[in-house]
Amino acid sequence: MNKEIIAPNGNNKNRNGIKPPNCSLDEKQEIQVSERFKFLWDNYTKIINLCITLSVGTLLIFANNIFTKDNIEKLKIADDLIRFYAIASILLIFLGLLFAILWRILSQIYMEKEVFGNKKVIIQYLKDAEIYDHSYKFEENRSKFKRRVWIFAQYATFFLLFFGWLFFMLFILNFLWM
């Protein structure tokens, strides 16, 4: 069932797939929906990657500017509130980074399942192509648990990064005026 399709953006695509039995879309509509899904997925991953990049960047800026000899001496004589801001910001941003990475990994697994569809067909394809992907071998109960973890990771990432950056800003403002 190989068909040559001209996509709206002019790219030729070789379509090897099984059309869903109840699909009433013609090939042009399928391509448009596919392009919209691709656009949304790209923007979704940009948001996750931005969270990861900003948290790593914040931790590097923190480490680069604070862990110098002069600033460590200032931090030793700082009051407990400033040290609390420093520790809380590092801890919250680091946890936010871990949850953002978890969110990204689970999002990839769910997107693959949505795109590839039929579990038996994709497992056979992965075997034939000698691609060893274990994301399709999870049982349904584990999948429900992963979905809950995925939803929790989304909210936890934003919560932890927001408060981590808030404590980071409070630390910087208090530390500079010390």
- Residue 6 DSSP code: E
In the predicted model, is pLDDT for residue 10 greater than 70? no
**pTM check: above 0.85:** no
pLDDT band at 94 (very low <50, low <70, confident <90, very high): very high
By the 8 A CB rule, do 153 and 102 touch?
yes
- Does a structural domain hold residue 7? no
- Does a structural domain hold residue 54? yes
Name the residue range of residue 150's domain: 34-176
Distance CA 112, CA 104 (A): 12
- Does a structural domain hold residue 109? yes
Collapsing DSSP to helix, strand or coil, 18 comes out as coil
- Does a structural domain hold residue 158? yes
Predicted confidence at residue 23, as pLDDT, reads 58
pLDDT band at 130 (very low <50, low <70, confident <90, very high): low
Average pLDDT, the chain: 77
Say if residue 22 is exposed, middle or buried (CB neighbours under 10 Å; 0-12, 13-18, 19+). Answer: exposed
3 φ, ψ (degrees, to nearest 5): -130, 140
- Does a structural domain hold residue 41? yes
Q: How many domains does the chain have?
A: 1
- Does a structural domain hold residue 10? no
- Does a structural domain hold residue 13? no
Distance CA 55, CA 83 (A): 20
